[in-house]
Structure 1
Amino acid sequence: MNKKIKNAVNYLKNKKIKIILLLALSVGFYSCGDDAEDNPTSDFPTEDKISIEQHVEQPGTLCDILEAAGIETYNVHKIKLSGFINGNDVSVIYSMPLEDADLSDVQIVGDGLSTSDNILPSNLFNTQIKQVALPKTIIEIGKEAFEKCNNLTSIVIPNSVTSINDFAFYGCSGLTSIDIQSDNCDVGGYAFKDCSSLISIKGSIGRGIIGSSAFEGCSSLSAINISETVHQISGNAFKNCTSLTSITIPQKVSSLGIWDLDNKLAKNPFSGCTALKEIHIKGSNPPKTASFDTYINITLYVPTGSKEAYKSHSIWGKFHSIIEE
């Protein structure tokens, strides 16, 4: 219950006035996302599950539309929207205990406060969400958009997306598959950290940078395809990906790790990858890199004619097995 309603209730108690009507009204206020951060979905019964399909022509009017239809948001478990939504509508959506949301025909409109044009905002869904169709027009997935949505099992990233921001899917422990339809999509820091059930990623990841700890703790991930446009793989990017057996580092990658205060690379992206057996590097010039955990059990594959350059490198030269291909 929001603070204004609590204060009103206490005032009326002191006046010895019955508060039944006020409590009923408070449910109405909640039903359209007022003070959504209080997570009303845990406070109201949800036995009567409702599925709705609605077009929103004017951004910010979803609450009015639902109220006119007599729909309480705390009963809406499945929704299909089309049209235009802004921050007010986002608050309404967040107040729903949604398990299934189809927003593929929605366009997100900036309101100058909580939403920007075509950017999926933070905290759009509650953690009950299991299935989502993202808007076809979004260019970014906002910070913490699906953080700890543990019931989410798969996600398709539209080809319009150029950035998956920090913590976007952090801690989504039930996520098993990702379909990245864009070949031009940066992955922010901690974006998929601790997605421990993630088995497969369809498509290639990265546009220029793969952020720090982006896939750290994805212990079920056995393979990953890094985009040819990536030039930096940041520190701990794949740390503790204990099922990862092979990795290919694209030609444009110039650094592996994160620069410390002494202007040295630290936090190797593959720290703790205990199953890693092969590293394939496509660049003839050895990229700058932080130290690896081991150099004995991993075979380093390098371009034909570049073996001597790698053998003479202060870090790459420590690998016991270097093979040209």
Structure 2
Amino acid sequence: MNLEQKIKEEALRLGFAACGIAEVAPAESEAIYFDTWLANGMHAGMTFMENYRNVRLNPAGLLEGARSIISVALNYYPADLQPQDVPQLAYYAYGRDYHDVIKEKLNELVDYIRREVSINARCFTDSAPILERYWAWKAGLGWIGKNTHLIIPGKGSYFFLGEIVTDLALIPDRPMESMCGKCTRCMEACPTKAIEAPRTLNAGKCISYLTIENRKEIPEKLAPLIGNRIYGCDTCQQVCPWNRFARPTTEESFKMKDELAEMTADKWYALSREQYTRIFKGSAVKRAKYEGLLRNIANYKAINFRKEEEQNTNTYK
């Protein structure tokens, strides 16, 4: 095997579902899209997206002498789901924080490469100004769907992405053509119509943004549309036909904690700071902070209360 093949084989051995290689170069085809998205304010309160533009559009700025990007995907699709009658978390938040899990695996992959050749490298996973989905596409892992998720053929979109930026000159893989076709199920199913055009997500309407990154009150018009979600949203992935190929992850770290699985609606309503700290220790849910999660739970409770009132009214008519 050549070095590229060896790297991919080792990535699979470490548990990654896919691995590909791209040449470090300016992301020219993405620049207009990215700049337009920012100019239209679709990043909402995520002002950090305005920073480090040059690095976002050219990862050469992340490592001196950078020549290649090794892109990987790690499956997080859960084997067991929360009951539907309780407040819902996005699937990716069921287990341990993916940043830690992927970083560990990427470091192992770098160590393996170093045993083969001399290498300078930096590892990233949603932790640097780098267009992860773009580079995963350039590395041939899949294509960016209309819902903005990377879709891997025959596997779906329930994947975390990670990158190794290195000074090695590796043979790049070919980008993949989109296979979304005429399908618009994700756009039609989005509760808040946040996908305003193919690959154009208005974060200010997105339930994931509203329940995680958003530090303000949820807008009054959007609050009822959030439904039973208290951290993130999976709707645009759940309706995607390509996710019929999704298979449960074998990564033990991503499995739901027992205490989380036992949470009822009443337990969520009474969630204390101590419980929050214990249940979500080492979890991505910490991103929303305790106060943000309470805000989301209160919204869920208000929606349920209105539903019960409507049902009672209809019963006694």
Scaled by the length of structure 2, what TM-score is found?
A: 0.25
Which has more radius of gyration?
Answer: 1
As a proportion of its length, which structure holds more strand? 1
Scaled by the length of structure 1, what TM-score is found?
A: 0.24
As a proportion of its length, which structure holds more helix? 2
